[in-house]
Structure 1
Amino acid sequence: MALQAHCRRRHRVDILNAIEEVIHVQKQKGILSGDDVFLWRRRNDRFSQRFSSKDTLSLIRTAHPTCDWAKGIWTDSCVFCKAQMETRNHLFFECVFTEKVWSSLTRKLMAPHYTNNWDEIIDQLHHAQREFIMQWLIRYVFQTTLYTIWRERNNRRHGEQANSDKQIIQSVDKQIRNRLTSIRVLGDARYEGGMEKWFSTR
């Protein structure tokens, strides 16, 4: 256990000295055995082994009251279709724009189990029984598409020039090919035929 090997020190930073004090108290109580565990601080000073980005953000940011003019400069509508509220499921991939991107990249790859529903996609990524290279391709396309769409979404939010669905599809396709090429150079046999399978779905 880490407590057994720990030597108390003085630090210039107050929070580190506070941690040293907590460790010292635990050693005084004789709590020196057992497995170390990582705990994340949650709201109301609760601690959990599960990480929550929402709780973490609320703990590290300084909250301020909402300004009267906030609604005048911010909108929760989807930047792509302008017709629906922006939620995770809508952005990935229920929106008519992002679904078009996702469908072009994965409809043949996931056949006959294609879906644009977030929960169903996640379930397939974890539990689907496919050959290694096909499952890897779907996972990598998923990750790359998420990143590319999120970047496009942020660029549009900040007034950057919008890319068309075809341009986004081409960008993801290029990233997939580049990744497969780099893996081929390494000679990993598990990815043998990956480029051919990807080409067959385009």
Structure 2
Amino acid sequence: MLKLRDAARTFHMKAVGNGKLISFWFDRWSEIGVMIEILSERGLIEMGIRREATLEEVLWNQRRKKRHRWPLSNEVEKELSIVKDKLTLDMDMDDVDMWRWKSGFKPSFSTSETWSMIREVATPCTWGQSIWFAHATMDRIAGWNPGVDTTCVLCKRTPETRNHLFFECSFSSLIWEHLVKGLLGIAYSNKWNIMVELVYVPTMEKRKRFCLRYALQVTVYTLWWERNMRRHGDPLRPMQFLAKFIDKSIRNQLSLVQMKEMKGSAGFGGLQFEQPPRCRFARTKDQQIAQPCSCESSRKDP
């Protein structure tokens, strides 16, 4: 916030009423700017106006107007004459705080308008409507806290990045593959950049694109939820549980869409997701007791 002080000053000025609440030197009451910034400390002596003076005091204290050697001081004297002429029309009018908008200064303040003028405008992402991911993965957190452990809590093998978590991680990749590989066929990928482009392919059939987008949103949400729980020491939930949860969420949403008979949404039955995935290393119960599944053991702390 401190770095924005200089920028913030340009967003506020005073509309002169009676001048009682306006600092002559430190408020911006003229289009010329803030007087102390224009005339500097030299102006205090040149103009013969004390530092604490209000605009009202300067206008009505019988100060003798004079011709200055410094051109800037003469401009200020001219501005004071203009303001004084206006004040004689209505001395009961209060001073008003004015805030900068794109169209000029107004007596109301807008957070969104101010933000749009100070922010750095970047090129919009074409896939922004399909998924928005603003959370900090461990590679970003490491930039703030170099001592933090960046290992992915899902696979316990690789440093955590956005691309790793979605869906290059051996844990998340298996869930993602079972959910959408049957839907995408040869177009299937577990690369983040490819997936966010794929959800906006204009030639993809509308119902298929809806299914893919919703699957992406639910899977990202669920994996991030699981990741946070593990980071905070909560019990691990098996891959099978998460896969069933995501699958059920998708199917419930598709059923709801069909019930509402949304335009262009009928007939989702022809777009089948895989059944909730079973572990590719699954064995009988006796075998599992004798030797744990490799994908489960990979998620235990070393």
TM range, smaller chain: 0.5 to 0.7
1:39 to 110, 116, 126: 116
**SS, match of residue 195 in structure 2:** helix
Number of equivalences: 158
Q: Aligned partners of 2:218, 2:241: CA distance in 1, in Å?
A: 14
2:121 to 48, 67, 70: 48
Offset, 1:119: 0.9
**Could you tell me which residue of structure 1 aligns to residue 199 of structure 2?**
125
Residue number in structure 1 paired with 2:94:
none
Distance of 2:185 and 2:219 partners within structure 1 = 18
User: Which residue of the other structure, out of 14, 20, 25, is the alignment partner of 2:98?
Assistant: 20
Relative distance call for 1:124 and 1:21 in structure 2 (3 A) is: closer
> Corresponding residue for 2:219?
145
Residues 63-90 of structure 1 deviation map (CA, whole Å, 9 limit, x = unaligned): xx96xxx83xx41110011111100000
Distance 1:49 1:40, change over 3 A: farther
* Partner residue in 1 for 2:266: 192
Question: Over aligned residue pairs, what C-alpha RMSD do you find?
Answer: 3.3
Identity of aligned residues (%): 29
Q: 1:22 to 1:146 in 2, by over 3 A?
A: same
Change in CA separation of 1:167 and 1:86 when aligned onto 2, cut-off 3 Å: same
Does the 8 Å contact 2:99/2:105 carry over to 1? no
> Runs of 5+ in structure 1 lacking a partner?
1-7, 9-18, 29-35, 58-64
Gaps of 5+ in 2: 1-14, 16-96, 107-112, 125-131, 137-143, 276-302
Aligned to 1:114: 188
**CA–CA separation in structure 2 for the residues paired with 1:96 and 1:128:** 30
**SS at 1:105 equivalent:** helix
Q: CA deviation at 1:195?
A: 3.8
Partner SS, residue 152 of structure 2: coil
Hey, which of these two has a bigger chunk of helix by percent? 1
- In 2, Cα distance between the equivalents of 1:134 and 1:38? 38
Moved runs in structure 1, 4+ residues, more than 3 A? none
Give 1 or 2 for the bigger CA radius of gyration.
2
